[in-house]
Amino acid sequence: MGPAHSKWITIRGLVIPAEWDETGNVIALAISTFDEDEYIIEKNREEGRLYSLIRKEIEASGIIRDSKGKKRIEVRDYKTR
């Protein structure tokens, strides 16, 4: 079953930690946009590269989904700002 809504978008914002393991390591990321939206970054090849960009501004393009009231993005391409 897929989410009810998904579409391609480009967003700009800061890469931030979204989840930590029991020892304090970051295990999930999000993009916090300047209009105060937050998009959880879905796991894929591009997501793995974004850990080095925590607290950096990026422009990310990908597929956005609304899942249980949370915005999620599958980043397909990004560039640092």
Q: Please tell me which residue, 70 or 15, carries the higher pLDDT value.
A: 15
Q: Answer yes or no: is 67 within a domain.
A: yes
- Number of domains into which the chain is organized: 1
The CATH number that applies at residue 22 is 2.40.50.140
Q: Answer yes or no: is 31 within a domain.
A: yes
φ/ψ (deg, to 5) at 24: 90, 5
For residue 66, pLDDT over 80 is answered with yes
Predicted pLDDT at 68: 83
Q: At 68, which helix (H) or strand (E)?
A: none
Q: Answer yes or no: is 59 within a domain.
A: yes
Q: Answer yes or no: is 48 within a domain.
A: yes
For residue 58, pLDDT over 60 is answered with yes
Domain span at residue 65? 6-80
Question: 58 and 78 in contact (C-beta within 8 Å)?
Answer: yes
pLDDT digits (tens, 9 = 90+) for 4-49: 567 999 999 999 999 999 999 999 999 999 999 999 999 998 888 9
Q: Answer yes or no: is 1 within a domain.
A: no
Q: Is the pTM of this model over 0.75?
A: yes
